[in-house]
Amino acid sequence: MAVVEDSSADVLLRRLGLERFCNAFEAAFLTNWDVLCEVTHDDLLAIGMQDKNERDILLHAIHSHLQPTQRDDHEDETVSLEPRKTTAETITSETGLPDGQETYRSHGPSQPISLDLLCRSGVSGQTRRKGESRRTYAGRLTHLKLEERHIAKIEHFDILCRQLQVLYLYSNAVTKIQHLPETLTHLYLQNNRIRRMEGLDRLGMLRKLYLSENCIERVEGLQGCQSLEELYIQEQRISAPLSFCPKSIRTVAASLHTLDASSNHLDALEPLVQLQCLEHLLASGNQLASLPDVLSLFHSVPSLTHVDLSGNPVTSQHKYRDRVILAAAETDGGLEVLDGRRVTAHEREFLTRWRAVQKGETKHRLRQMMGEQRKVRTRTNLKLPPLSHAPTTTSSSLFSPSTPHTTFTRRTGFAATRRDETQGSAGVKARAVRRSAPEWPWKDGMLEIPFIDTST
């Protein structure tokens, strides 16, 4: 006759007269059949069951309880197994996600976190020692690979894995972040069903956080992650633009150097101006359309070296690339790659000189306008040294024939040749004189001044 038992380990212990161990089993998370089916003498010794006969009785009852369902011709009683009724499809309906929004759908039943699962998921190089209990082995694990295991709930890590540093939980059915150890430095939760960033405030040692392909609408809950260096939040399954909590941004401003927020309907970069240590910004495939907003980010965050804004409307604006490179150069920034294209030193130098020339031409135009205003005063106040008597001639190219005048022909350096030209005279005498007035009105290579009588 097969043993018929309730699915609760607590009830099983009471029926065997071992109810004094109920609290110890609960503290060790030995409450479900996924764990009990793998219990050994070492595990029972670890929780305080010293009597070998009691251990034998309990292990025999557990193995009898987990025998396959059989039909006895003489008896109608069968073994009662604990069914796993929750599937990935059931979880989807419970979370309320719209159909077609899951990039990964597990086709098997959801799998709880058990001691056996933890012991089977350690990375190579962390093998179980001979005679070591599973609880002790799980307690010294630093890396766990639990990707694509149909896991729907994060549990027990903060108690069973107190030395855990790297946790791979991507491509599961996780809906909530919880029960994580404080020693965690790398957390991989991409491609799940997470809606909120929570349960991270105790992770003061966390350096890399992967949350892409979830349903997160707001970057928050990072007030305790003062060591966070890399945040990957791209491709959220949302319809509204991704938003940022100011408190969380201020917390990670001094440590975060990589942010991937691609394909999240972003329409502004203003919330990121506080990230003074940011070096890599990936924001492609968003809705950024304001070039001044982009330039303001480069002025505020000079540490940017790799930026990807491809797939945004702003990239189609006139001279977008040139203006971004110049904005980075104005703050002595070291922009190296923009939208997948390397920014060379030659390109940066050329644009910087071009900008300087543009500014210089503007100043030249202003000086030219000021010079026009001083031109009249220069004509009336100009004083020249006396000339020796010399015959003169008449110039008809710039002045009327009846108007005697004096012109100067400009030469290289600071010297000029002075000519006296009078109507009806023949012959020309010229001598070089030093320019004494800095603002002489030159025009087309000639110095314009009124006639000065040099005969006396």
Provide the domain count of the chain. 3
Same domain, 406 and 259: no
Residue type (1 letter), 97: L
Instruction: Tell me, yes or no, whether 331 lies in a domain.
Output: yes
pLDDT tens digits for range 355-382? 887 777 666 666 666 666 555 455 545 4
In percent, the amount of the chain with pLDDT more than 90 equals 42
Residue 200 corresponds to which tokens in the numbers above?
Answer: 């991270």
> What pLDDT is stored for residue 135 in this prediction?
87
Same domain, 182 and 248: yes
> What pLDDT is stored for residue 330 in this prediction?
85
Q: How far is CA 8 from CA 5, 22, 24, 111, 308, in A?
A: 8, 11, 15, 18, 55
Burial track 62-90 (b if 16+ CB lie within 10 A, e otherwise): beebeeeeeeeeeeeeeeeebeeebbbee
Same domain, 328 and 391: no
Question: Which residue has 């009990």 as its token pair?
Answer: 36
**283-304 average pLDDT score:** 94
Instruction: Tell me, yes or no, whether 79 lies in a domain.
Output: no
Same domain, 229 and 346: yes
Burial track 111-145 (b if 16+ CB lie within 10 A, e otherwise): bbbbbebbbebbeeeeebeeeebbbebbeebbbbb
Instruction: Tell me, yes or no, whether 183 lies in a domain.
Output: yes
- Phi, psi values for residue 449, rounded to 5°: -140, 155
Residue 62 corresponds to which tokens in the numbers above?
Answer: 């557990």
Residue 152 corresponds to which tokens in the numbers above?
Answer: 């729907």
Rounded Cα distance, 127 and 145, in Å:
14
CATH number at residue 332: 3.80.10.10
Q: Model's pTM, two decimal places?
A: 0.61
Question: Which residue has 């962390």 as its token pair?
Answer: 126
Rounded Cα distance, 329 and 295, in Å:
11
> What pLDDT is stored for residue 80 in this prediction?
32
- Whether 5 shows a pLDDT value over 70: the answer reads no
Give the structural domain span for 333: 103-352
Instruction: Tell me, yes or no, whether 212 lies in a domain.
Output: yes
CATH number at residue 20: 1.10.150.50
Same domain, 348 and 386: no
Rounded Cα distance, 308 and 187, in Å:
24
> What pLDDT is stored for residue 144 in this prediction?
94
